[in-house]
Amino acid sequence: MTARAWLRLVIVGGRISYRALFNWTSPLMYIPTLLVSPLLGTLFFAYLGRYAGGRDDTFYVLGNGLLAVAGPCVFGGMMALANERRYQTLGAVLGTPAPRGAILVGRAVPYVGNGLFTAVVVTTLAALMLRVSIRIADVPGLLLAALAAAASCTAFGLALGAIGMRVRDVWVISNTVWVSLWLVSGANVARSALPDWLEVVGGLLPISHGIDAARAIAGGSPAAGLIAREVALGAAWAAIATLLFRTFERSGRRHAALDRG
């Protein structure tokens, strides 16, 4: 396959597969699920924070604003693979000679963009509603942190989706992970305040280093190392996703498990 065909598969194929497999493309679903819900979550935790009296609103706005990438990235990345099961198209896709790497990258790209978009919208609106000010000079850094979080989170979602090619109830995992992230990502509780093992789990899941980076940027500390860590974590999850995909593809051919309803 030529480099051009590879790129087309990523860009054109990725765009079509997004419309085919993402359940929440219509504005009627997209806005409430991916924008309003995390925005309300931010308000909920900010008010909880005010009541508890520990942290200021900025802490919650940045934490939950970045956490907003989880909607499109965890769930979207998952749908991008697991929904093949719903339409029973996995056999048709795997029967093609298309390079699997290009299929995976193509499916990831729209969700990364989506994640960045939701993080920007939710953070901006929450900041306006709670009167939290963000310095213009910090914006590029915050965008970078959000992009890194979106990328690593999508890789994580794809790994879940690869599992979903084989396991029917992968939604159980994703839902639990999603709520767990409220706690372990450090969005609402400083990770250092958590028990050691939860702190470790949080550090292995996406977004937490991105949130640390965002808060460091707003606090005027260097954040490049934290962003790099989020990116490295994303690369690791991408490797896991690819490995799982290939493993399930291979074992599917061996055990006739493809397209089982």
Partner 1 sequence: MEPAIEVDGLVRSYSATHGMVRRRRSTVEAVRGVSFQVARGELFGLLGPNGAGKTTTIKILTTLLLPTAGTARVCGLDVVADTRAVRTRIGYVFGGDRGLYDRLSGLDNLRYFAELYAVDPRGLRARIDEVLDLVGLGGREGDRVEGYSRGMRQRLHVARGLLHRPEVLFLDEPSIGVDAVAARELRAVVAHLVEDGTTVLLTTHYMFEADQLCDRIAVIARGSIVAEGTPAQLKDQVADDRVVEVQVFGIGEAEVARVRAITGVTSVIVEDHEQAQALIVHCERSLDVSAEVVAALDGVRVGSIATREPTLEDAYISLVTAAEDG
Partner 2 sequence: MPRRLVRIWLLQVKQMSRSSFEMMGAVLLPLLFATLAFYVLRAGTHPHALLGASIGAGLMGTWSTVLFGAGSAIDHQRWQGTLELIVAAPTPLIVVLLSLTLATTTVGIYSLVATMTWGAILFGVPLDLVHPAAFLVAIPATIVALATLGLLMASTFIVLRNANALANTGEFPIWLLSGVLVPVALLPTWVQPVSSLLAPTWGVRALREAALGGSPWRAIGACVLCAAVQLALAAVALRRVERRARDRATLALT
CA dist 116 and 93 (Å) reads: 28
CA dist 96 and 107 (Å) reads: 16
CB count within 10 Å of CB 179 equals 9
8 A C-beta contact, residue 173 and residue 254: no
CA dist 255 and 251 (Å) reads: 6
187 by DSSP, 3-state: which? coil
**CB 26, min distance to partner 1, A:** 10
180 binds partner 2 (CB under 8 A): yes
From the list partner 1, partner 2, none, partner contacted by residue 247 (C-beta under 5 to 8 A by kind): none
From the list partner 2, partner 1, none, partner contacted by residue 124 (C-beta under 5 to 8 A by kind): none
Residue among 2, 1, 146 nearest 62 (CA): 146
From the list partner 1, partner 2, none, partner contacted by residue 98 (C-beta under 5 to 8 A by kind): partner 1
Stretch that binds partner 2, among 29-37, 149-157, 218-226, 237-245 (CB under 8 A): 29-37
Closer by beta carbon to partner 2, 42 or else 152: 42
CA dist 208 and 149 (Å) reads: 8
63 binds partner 2 (CB under 8 A): no
Taking CB under 8 A as the criterion, the residue among 9, 14, 17, 45 binding partner 2 is: 45
From the list partner 1, partner 2, none, partner contacted by residue 258 (C-beta under 5 to 8 A by kind): partner 1
Closer by beta carbon to partner 1, 97 or else 195: 97
CA dist 124 and 133 (Å) reads: 10
Instruction: Give the C-alpha distances (Å, rounded to integers) separating 73 from 45, 161, 231.
Output: 21, 11, 15
Closer by beta carbon to partner 1, 70 or else 162: 162
Binding site for partner 2 (CB under 8 A): 23-24, 28-29, 32-33, 36-37, 40-41, 43-45, 47-55, 169, 171-172, 175-176, 179-180, 182-183, 188-190, 193-194
